[in-house]
Structure 1
Amino acid sequence: MSENSSTSGNEPTCRLIYKSQTSWDLLSNETLLELAKTSAERNDARGITGLLLLSGESFLQVLEGPSGEVNDLYLRISRDDRHGKLRLLIFEPIVRRTFEDWAMHVVDLDELPMAQRDFLRAKYPVEDDSITIPDDDRLAIALLLDARQLTLSETDRSSS
């Protein structure tokens, strides 16, 4: 989705960022990828874009789109028993999307190539060999932006 304005008429566009802990004992990459595929299809239909990071047993997700749709999705997430210790970090109106590249994209920080993991580990705290998902909203957006840049293909980067 490349549209930067709201897709629901005059409804304002917003950005919502939250962090949570997975309540799954074993979260397989296959399960996560299937969840991302299903979420991408639903999000695309609702005009929502975003990025979901997994680090260890922690999630950090950014959602951008029409305020009503993003709020409805966050409410569903808050009721989802796969998330624990849910914490809203940012909810703000935006004029332009930053994560318009994907209806939903998942990045497991522990699965990134070593050079990319080392880059992130030099910038962000590490605990139990995983990058710690920040509580600070500024650090959270910085981590999401870094992950976005690291995962865009060379073609995508050159056209940005």
Structure 2
Amino acid sequence: MCNPYAAGMRELTLRIRVAAYVLRRRAGRSAELLVFDHDADLPPGTHVPAGGVAREEPLEEAVLREVAEECGLTCVRVLRPLAEEHTPHPIRRFPRHTTFFELEVDDDADVPDAWDHHVTGAGRDNGMTFHCRFEPLPLTFPLADGQDAWLDRLQA
């Protein structure tokens, strides 16, 4: 997929974003989804890694960067894009174009079931602490901001 900035979608108020459905698959268990909660004044609830795309940044690189910045995981790979949606920000209402991706934790990675991560990067959430964990699919609760809209497309 190309970065919509490069495709001429340059409305000043449009925010180009990516969102990550990071799956962990272990023998004898259902697939698990990486989610996090936070103590900040961001939209409340449980989230998946997601965030803005820099100009000229390929979407696959952006989604890997967001997972690393928000959850500290670098042992993941992009499997495929799942969906694109146009929705307003839940609080500030500016328009957003979000591409959702399916990712997978590397088979040989030793990742804990839950951990706290101090967010890095240039976004508003820099320095915040996110409480990360893997949840079995199907989820028994909704994700914040409608982020669960495309879970049924996963190859879980």
Please confirm whether the aligned pair reaches a TM-score higher than 0.5, indicating the same fold: no
Question: Which structure features the higher share of strand residues?
Answer: 2
**What TM-score do the two structures reach when normalised by structure 2?**
0.29
Q: Give the helix-richer structure, 1 or 2.
A: 1
